[in-house]
Structure 1
Amino acid sequence: MIRVGFLLNFPVEYKGGINYLKNLFYAVHKFHSEEIKIVLFVPDDLEQEYILMFCDYAEIIKTKIIQRKSLAWFVSKVGQKALNYDLLTNSLLHRHRINVISHSNYVYPGNKIKTINWIPDFQRLHYPHLWNKKQLKSEQKLHQGWVEKSDRIVVSSYDALKDLASLYPEYQKNTKVLHFVSQPDILKYQEERDISKYTNGKYYYLPNQFWEHKNHLVVFKAVKILKDRGINIVVLTSGLMNDFRNNDNHVNKLRAYVNDNQLDQNIRFLGLIPYLDVLQLIKSSLAVINPSFFEGWSSTVEESKSIGKKIILSNIEVHKEQCPKFGFYFDPTNEIELAFILENLWNAEQNEPEETKEELLRLLDINTKSFSDNYRSIIFELF
């Protein structure tokens, strides 16, 4: 039995990271639990809802070493910075007999524990203007360290692999593509959750974080085009409403655009909402929208694929690689093109894809096994 450790050392508000881990743990537990034991190290003060989210698929170990602002956390950080050696974390991993440390923004010094690091994307390569110099330098330093010192690097798409090869060609051989698969609990999902607090009519759904590259504005402009023509559609948005890179100036601009153009009844900001509500809103929507300029591997697209939902998405390369069966592509700079798609689907008589629950479950099981098998191969290649 290989014990694979993960450090939950990022803010839980990063829902994409939380859902990625949940999906990976579920897949490994379902198909390879006799060979691989997932061990998740979490902050000592982590909320119980996250413990419950992971406990069916992983051994949960609480520690103050990754509890921000605790004494152990400070000692760990100081040791890593001053000595390039994190004695506390290293001891923690040895104490719990970890064979591989994975997806943890951490490199074990030496060969006793193998290291796998995940780089979700190389957005900095394509949109450096979204970062300040300090952020760019930090991101570059992190990636450089992981690529040079990890036993394996995992990326989520061949598009990201192409970027890595352009930056670090000599390390391409140590990099593996791992397409993740979203696991919306279809059985729970069929039990209708009450979403009347969000809406009572038909709507499109845009469940993306409010970072500038997520490109909400093109959707808002398309909604305005339709409203000016007397067509009032509704778009619900959810996600964390801040962008750490620009002190929320981007979010303020989006709100101002909605207010200035009297779109308050057309575009509704829900903020952070429970994940099961997100799934229900996906299921009940006319279609999901992902207008992003850039993605590593979109969880929004994967959730829509697993559920069999129509999705309107930007025609970027990674979205094409994800290839949703019920996808409608548009130029992310062209609000007129998007408005045309939104109008056609809004007025269509039949908007639900013909996909049975049984067929969805069958396809999801196939994709999940492939996800799990690929991760297993990455681990066993290290030994």
Structure 2
Amino acid sequence: MTSRTIDVAFTPLGTNWQGGRTLVMNAIRALRLARSTEAHVRILGSDSQGSSEYARAAGADGVVMYEAPPRWSLERVRNALGVRLGKHNASLGSTLERAGVQVLVGESVNWHLGNVATIGWLQDFQHVHLPALFSPTETALRDRKFQQTMRLADRLFASPCCAEDARKFAPEFSHKLRPIRPYSSIDTRLYERDCRSVVTRFGLPERFLYVPNQFWTHKNHLGLLEALRILRGRGVRPHVVFTGSTHDYRDPEHFPSLQARIREWELTDWVHYLGIVEHEVVYDLIRQSLCVVNPSLFEGWGFSVDEAAAIGKRILSSDIPAHRDQQAPACEYFDPRSVDEIADKIEQVWLSAAPGPDLTLEARARQCMPRRIDELAQSLLSGLQEAVSAHAAQ
């Protein structure tokens, strides 16, 4: 390796989590645009996982295919012993090494991989902050996963607030942490589209607020609906558009309970749920909306806020560390546990804001984009090269 080249593979985050997919895509795009270093970026996977399609969508150079040794084979037995006795996965390590991979980046690190360095990209410590949302069994599993990843990895990536949580969780591994701001890389062709097309396509009113969050309990849709109930009592009836997955494995009845509240509080005519939509549609909804709203109780980063800021849109956001870390230029904050405060903020926007693109904010966002992408690239490259050097020195 020279100081100007590096070969990295990512595990395919986000097969069932859009935020992970977005994280990897933004990282790959930033590395491709890096000016100082040539990065060869691939996805680790197999055909059965749809990895080739994932790699194409993410803009990676290709896939490093890995299949575990055949069951009951001598190689499988040797590998299993290595994993059990010393957390050494010789089979995966040799596959990566033959492919020329110097460092593997994944959400968790489960093994030593021979001459291949590893980076764990920690997502969040939600189970520490909101323990009521997790069973004791899952809490223990998450604790073990984080402890193992922080112990085995050569370096650790995390958003600034997640890095702070990680320092408190396992201070003995603080020296491995490298805070990363995973800036959203936006395809500027979106500015050429007529974002108002979503109004016709989905039968929406021209004026609406947009909430692009998955329907998970901690996303606090209930608090937002309670705020809309308050506004209804004031005679203020803002239209709100929602998109995202309705499945929360921790509480399968969460979305049905929200639907029941919408009916009970007579909000049906002002709440519009569009389902899971293409990312291009998300961007058009952001641009057409009066503003983007994120009432979440907790985030590791919060891509809906980050993407809205990267596009150039006004934002109403819960006042939590992850959202403050982003320093979005047109963001107003509220206490996510105060439904009256949420209602007041929404009312102000509804009575004053215009729909469609904010040309001033969009121009500012486009001007900042190259610098922000380069900052992300340099942070990633520094961490990748540190991991390779630290691993080689062991």
Q: Is TM > 0.5 for Structure 1 vs Structure 2?
A: yes
**What is aligned with 1:182?**
184
For residues 173-252 of structure 1, what are the structure 2 equivalents within 5 Å?
A: 173-192=175-194, 194-195=197-198, 196-201=200-205, 202-246=207-251, 248-252=252-256
CA deviation string 1:289-329 (max 9, x = no partner): 11011111111111011111011011112211212111111
> Does residue 362 of the first structure (1) align with residue 364 of the second (2)?
no
**Which sits farther off after the overlay, 78-87 or 353-362?**
78-87
Indicate conservation of the 8 Å contact 1:203/1:286, yes or no: yes
User: What is the distance in 1 between the residues matched to 2:209 and 2:176?
Assistant: 41
In structure 2, distance between residues paired with 1:11 and 1:307: 22
1:312 corresponds in structure 2 to: 316
Contact 1:223 1:266 in 2 (8 A): no
In the alignment, is the contact (CA less than 8 A) between 2:286 and 2:292 conserved in 1? yes
Q: Residue deviations 1:59-115, cap 9 Å, x none?
A: 2345555xxxx989xx79x93875544344223212211110112423441651111
Instruction: Give the match for residue 101 of structure 1.
Output: 104
Q: Tell whether 2:3 aligns with 1:2.
A: no
Pairing 1:11-160 to 2, within 5 Å after superposition = 12-32=15-35, 34-45=37-48, 46=50, 50-54=54-58, 56-64=59-67, 79=80, 82=84, 84-109=87-112, 112-157=115-160, 159-160=161-162
Instruction: Name 2:338's counterpart in structure 1.
Output: 334
* Letter in structure 2 aligned against 1:13: N
Give the alignment partner of residue 174 of structure 2, picking from 172, 177, 187.
172
C-alpha deviation, 1:271, in angstroms: 2.0
For residues 229 and 205 of structure 1, the distance between their equivalents in structure 2, rounded to whole angstroms, comes to 21
Structure 1: gaps spanning 5 or more residues: none
Report the AA paired with residue 218 of structure 1: G
Residue 232 of structure 1: CA displacement? 1.6
Mapped pair 1:273 → 2:277: yes
Give the AA of the match of 1:15: Q
* One-letter amino acid matched to 1:243: D
* Structure 2 Cα separation of the partners of residues 190 and 280 of structure 1: 11
| C-alpha distance in 1 between matches for 2:249 and 2:46 | 22
Distance 2:273 2:298 in 1: 22
Say which SS state the counterpart of residue 328 (structure 2) adopts: coil
Q: Percent identity?
A: 26
Residues 1:377 and 2:382 are matched in the alignment: yes
- Could you tell me which runs of 5 or more consecutive residues in structure 2 were left unpaired when the two chains were aligned: 390-394
2:141 maps to amino acid: S
Assess if the C-alpha contact under 8 Å between 1:233 and 1:346 holds in 2.
yes
Q: Secondary structure at the match of 1:143?
A: helix
- CA distance in 2 between partners of 1:298 and 1:155 (Å): 13
| Structure-1 residue corresponding to 2:293 | 289
- Residue 31 of structure 1 deviates from its aligned partner by 1.1
Give RMSD over aligned pairs: 2.5
Question: Residues 17-59 of structure 1: CA distance to partner in whole angstroms, max 9, x if unpaired?
Answer: 00110000000001158532111123414187534312x4432
- How far did 1:280 drift? 0.7
Q: TM-score, normalised by structure 1?
A: 0.90
Query: Any idea what the Cα deviations from partners look like across 1:195-224, whole Å, max 9, x if unmatched?
Result: 123243211111111111111111111111
Shift of 1:266: 1.3
Where does residue 392 of structure 2 map in the other structure? none
**Number of equivalences:** 373
